[in-house]
Amino acid sequence: MATSEYEKKALGKETLAKYRELILLYDITEKLAASLDPQEVASLIIQEANKLINANKVSLMLINENTGLLEVIAGLGDEAKTKMSLKVGEGIAGYIALTGKAEIINNLSDDPRFLVGTRKVSSMMCAPLRIKDKTIGVINISSEEPANYTAEDLKLLSALTLQAAAAIENARLYDALKEAFLTAVSTLAETIEKRDTYTGGHTKRVMEYSLAIGKYFGLPDNEMERLKLAAVLHDVGKIGVRDDILLKNGKLDEEEYREMKRHTIYGEEVLKYIKYFKDIIPGVKSHHERYDGKGYPEGLSGTQIDIIARIIAVGDTFDAMTSDRPYRNALSKEVAYAEIKKCAGSQFDPEVVRAFLKAMALNN
Ligand SMILES: [Fe+2]
């Protein structure tokens, strides 16, 4: 049977709309797959929803797992400023979170669930973000003018929320995994530290000092991540140093000192077999290098030394000076600040020392 001209046109239009929808969703999937930060994922979804559907206001709400409340975590228009939170079941968004079913409400003023407040809204679409059978949040799309949202709009929004829920869940899992990994790594570092002459907490403090310096130095987020891990693992190579040297109470002789210094190289040896640690090797291996080139193990100088290592060097030295050691008592913070300052340009990178002093002044 021949298809009529009218049917052909209608089919063409429908195919085109489907194709457009597919391209847009593919585009979103690609962008979402590249991001593992929940906040970034939420902002991206909001922007895309706004591109796809005619609206003045878009917001994404997630259920806070601790409080059980729905909270706005990203938004466009007035919604971005709202710090609104709702109980599940409360208002329209709360109702959608409860039922798990998307809805169009084209005449909001007649809807008894609508919480009027100060917001001027006429039409709204709301869809749940679902993972398996669980609702984790909702997306609200609304318009100040009557928008007459259609079933087609809702279908598009639902397709978007499917992607959004999966991306947010991924980002959350990645965060949890990173946290678990850092805990495992810290436990390892603390176990190694127990063999050392520090009275405890050295690894954690070096990490905290290093992160404070990194912040005032203006390191970008990805470098801060690298710094954190390298600071925790800076002395991991001590695992390879013999107990009689590592735990010796008195002064090390020349041979023993040479062996002790090798913990920097052992650090590289330990880490190089794990792909994930590749990026932090320079931070671990070079944390005893000196800015003037007189450090070890390679005698690197200036910017030849990875920035992460230049930062850890200051954090590590400061903590060593302000901790009790078997052969001397802790120095006061003031004496240690003066000592670090004196070594700017010789032992330490002067820019790093500047960031350190700024961080310490503001933290005390
Ligand atoms: Fe060290």
CA–centroid distance, residue 344 to ligand 1 (Å) = 19
Which residues face 57 on adjacent strands? 142
Flag the least confident range among 128-142, 173-187, 304-318, 336-350: 173-187
Exposed/middle/buried for residue 256 (C-beta within 10 Å: 0-12, 13-18, 19+): middle
So what's the pLDDT on residue 318?
97
Query: Which of these, 297, 312, 323, 322, lies nearest to 352 by C-alpha position?
Result: 312
Top-confidence range, 85-99, 111-125, 233-247, 299-313: 299-313
Q: At what angle do helices 202-217 and 350-363 cross, to 10 degrees?
A: 110
Which residues face 63 on adjacent strands? 70
So what's the pLDDT on residue 130?
93
CA–centroid distance, residue 356 to ligand 1 (Å) = 19
Q: Which two tokens stand for residue 74?
A: 């990203």
85-86 β-sheet, strand order = 85-86, 70-76, 57-63, 134-143, 123-131, 103-105
Q: Are 210 and 160 in contact (CB under 8 A)?
A: no
pLDDT tens column, 164-219: 888 888 888 877 777 878 888 888 888 777 777 666 788 999 999 999 999 999 99
C-alpha–C-alpha distance, residues 53 and 140, integer Å: 11
Domain boundaries, the chain: 5-167, 194-363
C-alpha–C-alpha distance, residues 353 and 342, integer Å: 10
Q: Are 64 and 71 in contact (CB under 8 A)?
A: yes
Work out the mean pLDDT of the chain and round it to a whole number.
Answer: 85
More confident residue, 31 or 353: 353
Flag the least confident range among 23-32, 66-75, 271-280, 350-359: 23-32
Mean pLDDT of 247-268: 91
Q: Which two tokens stand for residue 76?
A: 């466009």
Report the length, in residues, of the chain.
364
Q: Which string of b and e fits 319-348 if b means at least 16 CB within 10 Å? A: bebbbeeeeeeebeeeebbeebeebbeebb
So what's the pLDDT on residue 157?
87
C-alpha–C-alpha distance, residues 152 and 176, integer Å: 36
C-alpha–C-alpha distance, residues 120 and 123, integer Å: 10
Q: Which two tokens stand for residue 330?
A: 């802790």
CA–centroid distance, residue 312 to ligand 1 (Å) = 9
C-alpha–C-alpha distance, residues 232 and 323, integer Å: 17
C-alpha–C-alpha distance, residues 277 and 103, integer Å: 47
CA–chain centroid gap for 250, Å, is 43
> Which helix (H) or strand (E) is 70 found in, with range?
strand 70-76
301 — pLDDT class (breaks 50, 70, 90): very high
CA–centroid distance, residue 364 to ligand 1 (Å) = 26
Q: Are 340 and 353 in contact (CB under 8 A)?
A: yes
Look at the domain 5-167 and name its fold. Beta-Lactamase (3.30.450)
pLDDT for 2 beyond 60? no
What residues have their beta carbon closer than 5 A to ion ligand 1? 235
pLDDT for 94 beyond 90? yes
78 — pLDDT class (breaks 50, 70, 90): low
C-alpha–C-alpha distance, residues 94 and 335, integer Å: 58
Top-confidence range, 68-77, 134-143, 159-168, 301-310: 301-310
CA–centroid distance, residue 284 to ligand 1 (Å) = 8
Phi, psi of 182 (to 5 degrees): -65, -40
83 — pLDDT class (breaks 50, 70, 90): low
C-alpha–C-alpha distance, residues 86 and 44, integer Å: 23
So what's the pLDDT on residue 109?
79
CA–centroid distance, residue 235 to ligand 1 (Å) = 5
Q: Which amino acid is at 277?
A: F
Q: Which two tokens stand for residue 72?
A: 């706005």
So what's the pLDDT on residue 1?
45
Query: Among all residues, which ones are annotated catalytic?
Result: 238
C-alpha–C-alpha distance, residues 6 and 16, integer Å: 15
Same fold, 5-167 and 194-363: no
Residue 132's region, left for phi above 0, alpha for psi from -120 to 50, else beta, is: left
Question: What is the architecture, at CATH level 2, of domain 194-363?
Answer: Orthogonal Bundle (1.10)
What's the number of CA atoms in the CB half-sphere (13 Å) around residue 177?
8
